Structure 1
Amino acid sequence: MTNSLRPYGHRRAPLPPAQSPADGVPSPRAPQSTQNKQNGKQRDAFFDNAKYLAIVLVAMGHAWEPLKGDSRILEAVYQVVYAFHMPAFIIISGFFSRSFDMRPDRLKRLITGVAVPYVVFETAYPLFKRLIADDPHQDISLLDPWYLTWFLCALFIWRLTTPVWKLVRHPLPIALGLAMVASAAPEIGDDLDLQRVLQFLPFFVLGLSMKPEHFHRVRTRSVRIASVPVFAVALAVSWWAVPRMNTAWFYHRDAAQELGAPWWTGPVMVLALFGCSLVLTACFFAWVPRRAMWFTALGAGTLYGYLLHGFLVKAGDYRGWFEHPVLHHPAGEVAVTLLAAVAVTLLCTKPVQRVFRFAMEPKMEWAFKRDAAELARERQTAERREREKVSV
């Protein structure tokens, strides 16, 4: 219907402007942070720096895993890193999910940016093992997240439940309660890696509940100074605990009974590790640069680095690269650490993003209906242009 069929002077009220999807919500502007534009959106250098540094620690941790059994010091460092690197990443994910609702464009972004990569890599990893490890019996199952894909599965579930956490009055205590119950319930099983989904849930809900000023409070000189002895104590305690504690507690993927502990230790460990993780995460955030650095732009490609570096680590595992005697000495461990950092850095770069965007960020316009509001905006724009031509 054109405007000529309406009474003179009658105009439809303009529709609200289109908003960016949940993943692209502009980050809070810190007083001392540098803002840079990517894809037309304001980005806060602090959050991009934090995501990049966290993903580098993730890659290092995966590279240490085959080597840590020979070194108590490396095992201690491994435990400290695992106490905060994924919690930090999940808190940031929760923070940037605050505006998520069931709006069609945001659901579309959730499907194309999380669900589709999950299906692609949940299929690719087992096929990769069949090829590299010559294991024709490796099954493909979308219900049993394999290696790194658990995070995509968890993020999909967490984000879908975001409106619920924004509705309830005390979201964090409820999330902690669910995590504690899960840690004592081995009956949950392995489907969709629900143990991890529930045990890491409090960090996502905490991110949803945070405000920009909460990040500002830990980015002070006093917190940076205090973080040095805190990390030193954490390393000392971790070194002491290496022969006394099962490292699998830091993975949050098993109930207490599955780790050979009585059921009541599950809820206790959930609370204890949650507290430790928050302290170490705050110390980590305190040392994240607030200004633009050479690696800041790589923060936008951390999902690429996260999912792709798994192929390198698994190839080394399947081919026996980590069994070389040289790598089981301090110099070899340092070399593996640096190699992991360089590799994941390269995998976060723009050329890699362009190559793998078809799997990570497919547009898939063919799969979705056009949003009625978007169609109305296009119609309104066309009508306005037609009126401008007539007036001329």
Structure 2
Amino acid sequence: MRNHWYDNIKGVLVLFVVFGHLLTDVRGAYDDLLPNWIYLFLYTFHMPLFIMLSGYFFRENRYLRVIQLFVVYVIWQVILGSWFAFTEGIPLLSIDNPGLNVLKPYWALWYLMAIIIWYVITPYVTQLKGYVLYALLFALLFGFQAESTGFFALRKVVMFYPFFLIGNWMSARNTLNFFELPKRAEQRNRYRIGGAAVFTTITLGLLASMSFQKEDAFYHVGNLFKFRFAYETAVPEAMWSGPFAFLIVYTVSLLMAISFALIIPGRELPVFTRAGKYSLYVYLVHVFLVVGWKAFVPAAFMPTSWLQLLVLFGVAFVIVLLIISPPAVRLLRPLVEIDVRRVQDDRATKA
């Protein structure tokens, strides 16, 4: 039986993913800071929590899952990269078509590439004592690396990996099981109140600290939480302070992610529970729709930023509803839930 709490968390997060991608070009389209603040707020926790949940449900010896994810990745890399090339007028058979370069994940597909790599290496990494700390130390050191080719989404693979391992560590200790036990309703409520208090406090603290910064600080701090650049670009004024800045980022993201998860209800929420169940569908297909939206809709088509944000959130919600609708799921299932069990059957036959 599926756990509604985990599905609800993933459902809310995947909605934030769609909203965040719709919001990207809007940040510079208005003079006020509201779009920048919302964008920064989302990226402090939504991908770290998504990745922690992936680590929480990771199980070793799942080579079929790795094969399946790789096949899904290649298919959607070709489809989505070619769709981008089409919208930009790039010939589909051109070397400039990102869909033909499977070693360089197109846009949001970095996450799928990262999951594949993490699934392969994690059984070996977890053999180390204190593996989370080793991964964190390696990530902080990797920040000095100026690699920017995008091959294998290496920067994000390395820098986000500690969150995956934290989720795996929590799973090994059954840390997030309190929503599964109805007799502990009172304790669950205490967790919710505590989570709401921590989440609100950090959010207000972040908002207060950013209000004293220059306008372009939102852009730079947002990139810190997205792990986009090396230290020399992310903190050019003092590169050697990079590890300390990123350590703060890891701490804030971890606290925001866990406290946000505690706020989400554990009962079934029809839209979000279903969205969580089919979160991979939304993650893959929404890119197609967002690229189309950006190609044909101006970045600032509303007179005020707050109205634009409301409209974009509604658009994101509609996109999620369309993708998780039963007809869409049936149509997309052959491209998302690819059956690779024949690989196992062939191996058994040869044995």
Q: Tell me if TM exceeds 0.5.
A: yes
Q: Give the aligned partner of residue 159 of structure 2.
A: 199
Aligned counterparts of 1:351 and 1:265: Cα–Cα separation in 2: 51
- Which of 113, 134, 152 is equivalent to 2:89? 134
Q: 1:223 to 1:126 in 2, by over 3 A?
A: closer
Shift of 1:290: 1.0
- Which of 217, 232, 237 is equivalent to 1:244? 217
Shift of 1:337: 1.4
Percent identity of equivalent pairs: 25
- Which of 304, 307, 311 is equivalent to 2:284? 307
In structure 1, stretches of 5+ residues that fail to align are 1-41, 377-392
1:1-392 matches, within 5 Å, as: 42-69=1-28, 70=30, 71-97=32-58, 99-101=59-61, 106-112=62-68, 114-136=69-91, 137=94, 138-139=96-97, 140-187=100-147, 189-210=149-170, 211-214=173-176, 216=178, 219-241=191-213, 242-245=215-218, 246=220, 247-259=222-234, 261=236, 262-295=238-271, 296-319=273-296, 321-326=297-302, 328-372=304-348
Aligned counterparts of 1:65 and 1:327: Cα–Cα separation in 2: 18
Question: 8 Å contact 1:327–1:333 — kept in the other structure?
Answer: no
Counterpart residue type for residue 60 of structure 1:
F
Which piece of structure 1 moves more, 128-137 or 78-87?
A: 128-137
Question: 8 Å contact 2:275–2:320 — kept in the other structure?
Answer: no
Question: 8 Å contact 1:305–1:345 — kept in the other structure?
Answer: no
Question: 8 Å contact 1:327–1:336 — kept in the other structure?
Answer: no
Q: 1:291 to 1:359 in 2, by over 3 A?
A: same
Question: 8 Å contact 2:17–2:46 — kept in the other structure?
Answer: yes
Counterpart residue type for residue 199 of structure 2:
S
Which piece of structure 1 moves more, 81-90 or 165-174?
A: 165-174
Counterpart residue type for residue 65 of structure 2:
R
Question: 8 Å contact 2:132–2:165 — kept in the other structure?
Answer: yes
Counterpart residue type for residue 131 of structure 2:
P
Question: 8 Å contact 1:67–1:328 — kept in the other structure?
Answer: no
Question: 8 Å contact 1:179–1:270 — kept in the other structure?
Answer: no
Question: 8 Å contact 2:156–2:228 — kept in the other structure?
Answer: yes
Shift of 1:145: 0.9
Number of residue pairs the alignment of both structures matches: 327
Aligned counterparts of 2:303 and 2:212: Cα–Cα separation in 1: 24
In structure 2, stretches of 5+ residues that fail to align are 179-187
Question: 8 Å contact 2:64–2:340 — kept in the other structure?
Answer: no
Counterpart residue type for residue 314 of structure 2:
L
Aligned counterparts of 1:327 and 1:149: Cα–Cα separation in 2: 33
Counterpart residue type for residue 243 of structure 1:
D
Q: 1:197 to 1:353 in 2, by over 3 A?
A: same
Shift of 1:163: 0.9
Counterpart residue type for residue 232 of structure 1:
L
Aligned counterparts of 1:327 and 1:300: Cα–Cα separation in 2: 37
Question: 8 Å contact 2:235–2:242 — kept in the other structure?
Answer: no
Larger Rg: 1
Aligned counterparts of 1:221 and 1:149: Cα–Cα separation in 2: 35
Deviations 1:265-290 (A, max 9, x none): 33222211100101111221121111
Shift of 1:366: 4.7
| TM-score w.r.t. length of structure 2 | 0.86
Aligned counterparts of 2:263 and 2:192: Cα–Cα separation in 1: 9
Aligned counterparts of 1:310 and 1:181: Cα–Cα separation in 2: 32
Deviant stretches of 4+, over 6 Å: none
Question: 8 Å contact 1:62–1:313 — kept in the other structure?
Answer: yes
Counterpart residue type for residue 152 of structure 1:
L
Shift of 1:253: 2.6
Which piece of structure 1 moves more, 346-355 or 332-341?
A: 346-355
RMSD between aligned alpha carbons?
A: 2.3
Shift of 1:324: 4.7
Question: 8 Å contact 2:210–2:217 — kept in the other structure?
Answer: no
